[in-house]
Amino acid sequence: DKPWTVPALADAKRDGRKLVMLTCYDAGFARALDASGIDLVLIGDSLGMVVQGHDSTLPVTVADIGYHTACVKRGLSKALVVADLPFQADATPERALDASTHLLQSGAAMVKLEGAGHKLDVIRFLVEREIPVCAHLGLTPQSVLRLGGYKVQGRDDATAAKLRADARAVADAGAALLVLECVPSPLAAQITADLAIPTIGIGAGPGCDGQVLVLHDLLGVNSGHRRPRFVKDFLAEGGSITGAMQAYADAVRNGTFPDAEHSYA
C-alpha cells in the first residue's frame, strides 16, 4: 500500500480501478479514512455548510481551507489530499496561484476549482507552475446565486453538449482529475468515456471512474439541509465509522454504489 501520487490516478483509470474519495476536515477522521482504504480525501468548501453552519459555500476563505488541510494531512499517510479553492480564490490566475501555494504548503497535493470558461486560463496557469488541478463541473455550488438553487445540470441537449465540451476543455487545459456533480448518469458516462483523466462523480451515476461523498452525509449527520438524492448513510450497514467508510469503498469498487435510486436518469 504505497501513498497515492497524482500520476497514479490516470494509471488507475487505464487499469479500470475505481477511485474512492471522501471529504474530511480534521485529523481524527483522516486517520479513520486512511485505515479504511479511501484513495483520495477532499478538504471541500462544503466545510462552510457541514462544519461552519452556513447555508452556502460562499463564506469559506483560503485560510479556512488551509487550516483544515493541515489538520487532515497530519492524520494521513496514504490518501491523496485535494483541497478546494474557495469562492473567488480562483477569480484570477495570480490569486489562484497564491491561494494554491498556501494550500500545497498546508499539505494538499492538488487543488480543485469549479467551472470552465475563464477558469481554463487559471487551470493552465497553475499546471504550468507545478500545481496539479482537479476540475469540477455540473452543479458548481459556488454558482448558487446565479443558478438559484442546487439543481441537476445538463438535462437538455444544449446544456449537455456544453458540459461535454467544457469537460474536454478542462482536460486539455491540464486538469488531472474531474469531479462531476449532479449530472444525469448517461451524460456522466459519456464524458468519462471522452476523457483520459479520471472522473469522480457525486450524483453522477455509476459510470464515472470514481465517487466522492461528503463525510457527514456518509455518516448520516444531519446538516440541517434537505438530503439530496445521491446521499447514502453507510453507518447503518457499516456499524461503525471505519465500517461505514469501508462499506462505502467496497460499494464503489464493486459497482453497487451509486445505484439508480441514488442517481439521476
Which of 94, 128, 130, 181 is an active site residue?
A: 181
- Kind and range of the H or E run holding 82: strand 80-84
Cα Rg of the chain (Å, integer): 17
Q: Is 94 a catalytic residue?
A: no
- Kind and range of the H or E run holding 179: strand 177-181
18 is in an annotated binding site: no
Task: Give CA torsion, residues 21, 141, 46, 3, to 10 deg.
Answer: 30
By C-beta, is 127 or 150 nearer to ligand KIV?
Answer: 150
Q: 111 forms bridges with which residues in the sheet?
A: 83, 133
| 19: helix, strand or coil | strand
Distance, CA of 142 to chain centre: 14
20 binds, among ligand KIV, Na ion, none (CB under 5 to 8 A by kind): none
Q: 201 forms bridges with which residues in the sheet?
A: 180, 211
Per the structure block, which three cell numbers stand in for 180? 462531476
Among 33, 40, 42, 71, which residue interacts with ligand KIV (rule: CB under 6 A)?
42
By C-beta, is 33 or 214 nearer to Na ion?
Answer: 214
Is residue 258 reached through a cis peptide bond, with omega within 30 degrees of 0 on the bond before it? yes
One character per residue 160-199, x = contact with ligand KIV (rule: CB under 6 A): -------------------x-x------------------
Please choose, out of 30-38, 40-48, 85-93, 228-236, the segment that lies near ligand KIV by the rule CB under 6 A.
40-48
208 binds, among ligand KIV, Na ion, none (CB under 5 to 8 A by kind): none
Our finding on whether 202 is near ligand KIV (CB under 6 A) is yes
By C-beta, is 46 or 263 nearer to ligand KIV?
Answer: 46
Shortest distance, position 45 Cβ to Na ion, whole Å = 4
Kindly identify the residues of this chain, within the stretch 210-239, that bind ligand KIV according to CB under 6 A: 212, 214
By C-beta, is 189 or 204 nearer to ligand KIV?
Answer: 204
Name the nearest CA neighbour of 122 among 136, 109, 108. Answer: 136
100 is in an annotated binding site: no
User: What is the Cα–Cα distance from 101 to 115, expressed in whole angstroms?
Assistant: 20
| 99: helix, strand or coil | helix
42 binds, among ligand KIV, Na ion, none (CB under 5 to 8 A by kind): ligand KIV
Q: 20 forms bridges with which residues in the sheet?
A: 211
Residues that bind ligand KIV (CB under 6 A): 23, 42, 44-46, 84, 179, 181, 202, 212, 214
What amino acid positions are annotated as catalytic residues? 181
